[in-house]
Amino acid sequence: MLAYNLIAYLQTQVSALPEHRVANIFKPLASPAEWESSLGWFVIAVTTGIFLVVGALMAFTIIRFRQRPGDDTHQEPPQVYGSNQIEVAWTVIPILIVFVLLGVTARVIASVQNASPPKQELKVTIIGHQWWWEVLYPDYGVVTANEIHVPASRDGKMATYLQLQSVDVIHSFWVPQLAGKTDLIPNRTNYMWIDPREPGVYLGNCAEYCGTQHANMLLRVIAQQPADFQKWIAGQQKPAVQDAGVTQQQAMYGSLACVNCHTIRGTKSLGKFGPDLTHLMDRQTIGAGVLMNDAKNLRMWVNDPQDPKPGCFMPSMKLTDKELGQVVEYLQSLK
Ligand code: CUA
């Protein structure tokens, strides 16, 4: 099943936006990630320095004091005890290095956490579920899943503030190019913020083992030009499209247990357990990034989600071919 995961990552891009597929903290494209990667480079520089000094001293000692032909193998070298200078040096220097690293790290953490919000900010609540992300825009009454649309912030005047919560176990929100990891913990709200500098699709994933499908708890941050973001959010605020061409298909969907778990705003489907499907076709992926969202994959997913995502909480509804076709047709009308 890993193959599905890989396919989702390797698929050609599905939107006009460039995809930032770099799972690498050293290519930051947002302020928190940039500060953290500078810290990363600093720590690497210091530890490389330590490695070189220690390695050079060891190499010197090994070569200079190696056994030579004719050495008496049973003779110990002179034993030296109690050099105050050396002991003070190898105690004080490491302590100073540790304090410098601690201080610099604390400063970066504090500057990320205490950064004052810019004038324009977007609030988004992310709720971790086994194994998908619920995404709410409280100021707009919008609910979606797994793909977080935000405005890009080229001039640093816009940031997105994330409230992180969980309904079950501990998850961790991580989009390497945007910010460090922050856990989503039951009965607690954590905060973080991102300000993607370039429009594009930033890939991320859950970074805390949270059960069978932890590896398939993928997420996308879709940064758009502010005007495009406003258009997107206006589209999301509308209730589901009522397409007269799929009335029968909608009735079929409505007769199934799907309605107990999924919300489609403007219909009688009001379940809360699974992702909101009101504008399902707006999403690039299904199953939290496991499959690209196209007709073939959607059919495969509805037929048996346990195939691409074994252990997930959506069961196979054992639909007949005709029922399956109708449900998929209805879902595809949810633009
Ligand atoms: Cu959610 Cu790992």
Q: Looking at residue 19, what is its pLDDT?
A: 74
pLDDT in tens, 126-162: 999 999 999 999 999 999 999 999 999 877 788 999 9
* Beta strand pairing call for 132-137 and 142-145: antiparallel
- What would the mean pLDDT of 102-113 be, rounded to a whole number? 95
**Residue 169 neighbours by CB distance under 10 Å:** 16
Judge whether residue 182 has pLDDT over 90.
yes
Indicate which residue's Cα is closest to atom 1 of ligand 1: 171
User: What distance in angstroms lies between residue 185's CA and the mean position of ligand 1's atoms?
Assistant: 11
Ligand 1 centre distance from Cα of residue 144 (Å): 18
Task: Kindly give the number of the ligand 1 atom that is closest to the alpha carbon of 211.
Answer: 2
Residue 262 CB less than 6 A away from ligand 1? no
Please report the atom of ligand 1 found closest to the CA of residue 171.
1
Q: Distance from the CA of 315 to the center of ligand 1, in angstroms?
A: 20
Res. 245 pLDDT band, cuts 50 70 90? confident
How far apart CA 290 and CA 296 sit, in angstroms, is 13
Does residue 59 surpass a pLDDT of 70?
yes
pLDDT of residue 7: 47
Tokens, residue 217: 């708890």
Average pLDDT on 80-88 reads 87
What does the pLDDT look like over 203-224, one tens digit per residue?
Answer: 999 999 999 999 999 999 999 9
Between CA 327 and CA 333 the distance in angstroms is 10
Query: Which is the closest atom of ligand 1 to the Cα of 169?
Result: 1
pLDDT (tens digit per residue) in 280-289: 999 999 999 9
Condensed to tens digits (0 to 9), the pLDDT of residues 276-331 reads: 999 999 999 999 999 999 999 999 999 999 999 999 999 998 999 999 999 999 99
Please work out whether the CB of residue 158 comes within 6 Å of at least one atom of ligand 1: no
Overall average pLDDT of the 16-41 stretch: 85
pLDDT at 12: 43
162 lines ligand 1 (CB under 6 A): no
Q: What is the pLDDT of residue 149?
A: 96
Start-to-end CA span in the chain (Å): 29
Residue 218: CB within 6 Å of ligand 1?
A: no
pLDDT value of position 16: 64
Residue 40: predicted pLDDT: 94
Q: Pick the atom of ligand 1 nearest to 207's CA.
A: 2
Residue 22: predicted pLDDT: 66
pLDDT over 60 (residue 8): no
